[in-house]
A and B are shown apart, each in its own frame.
Chain A
Amino acid sequence: MRRRAELILRFTRAERWVHRTTAALTGVCLATAACLYLAPLAELVGNRPLVVTVHVWCGLALPVPLLLGLASRAVRADVTRLSRFTPADWQWLRAVRARAAHRPAGKFNAGQKLYAQWTLGSMLVIVGTGLLMWLTHLAPPSWRTGATFVHDWLAAAIAVVVAGHIRMAWRDREARLGMRTGLVERHWAEREHPQWQATDAEREHPHWQTTDAER
Chain B
Amino acid sequence: MGRRVVLGLLGLGAVGVAAGPYLQRAESSLAERDPSGLSGLLPGNNGFRYYSVVTSVPERTAVDYTLTVDGLVERPATHRLADLQAMPQRRLVKDVQCVTGWRVPDTPFEGVPLAHLLDAAGVEPGAKAVRFSCFDGAYTESLTLEQARRDDVLVALRMQDNPIAHDHGGPVRLYVAPMYFYKSAKWLSGITVTDAVQPGYWERNGYDVDAWVGRSNGRDDAPTS
Residues of A near any B CB (own CB < 8 A) = 37, 39, 42-43, 45-49, 83-85, 89, 113-114, 117-118, 120-122, 124-125, 128-129, 132, 136-137, 140-150, 152-156
Contact = CB atoms under 8 A, between A and B. Distances in A.
B174 to A, nearest CB: 18
Given A39-B50, A141-B218, A150 B9 contact: no
Contacts of B10: 121, 124-125
B82 to A, nearest CB: 28
A49 B205 contact: yes
A148 B50 contact: no
A124 B218 CA distance: 25
B38 to A, nearest CB: 14
Given A141-B220, A146-B19, A46 B57 contact: yes
A147 B17 contact: yes
Interface in B1-26: 1-3, 5-10, 12-13, 16-21, 23-24
Residues of B in contact with A, size category: 35 or more
B101 interface: yes
Contacts of A89: 1
Q: Is the interface of A mostly helix, strand, loop or mixed?
A: helix
B53 A142 contact: no
Contacts of B100: 148
Given A42-B49, A125-B13, A148 B44 contact: yes
Nearest to B57: A46
Contact of A46 (B6, B18, B19, B55): B55
A43 to B, nearest CB: 5
21 contacts: A39-B49, A42-B49, A43-B50, A46-B52, A46-B54, A47-B53, A47-B55, A83-B6, A89-B1, A113-B1, A118-B5, A122-B9, A136-B217, A143-B17, A145-B20, A145-B21, A148-B101, A150-B16, A150-B17, A153-B16, A154-B13
Contacts of B7: 121
B167 interface: yes
Given A49-B205, A154-B13, A149 B50 contact: no
Given A114-B5, A121-B6, 4 more contacts: A117-B5, A122-B9, A124-B10, A141-B218
A149 B24 CA distance: 7
Q: Give 8 closest A-B pairs by Cβ, nearest first.
A: A146-B20, A121-B9, A85-B1, A125-B13, A149-B20, A117-B5, A150-B16, A146-B17
B2 A132 contact: no
A49 B201 CA distance: 11
A125 B20 contact: no
Nearest to B45: A152
Contacts of A121: 5-10
B220 A136 contact: no
A93 B56 CA distance: 51
B43 interface: yes
A160 to B, nearest CB: 11
Contacts of A152: 43-44
Nearest to B207: A136
B16 A146 contact: yes
A49 B53 contact: yes
B2 A84 contact: yes
B150 interface: no
> Among B44, B49, B205, B217, which residue has the most Cβ atoms of chain A within 10 A?
B44
B165 to A, nearest CB: 11
Nearest to B23: A149
Contacts of A143: 17
A129 B17 CA distance: 8
Contacts of A122: 9
A142 B13 contact: no
Contacts of B3: 83, 117
B123 to A, nearest CB: 33
B23 A141 contact: no
A76 to B, nearest CB: 15
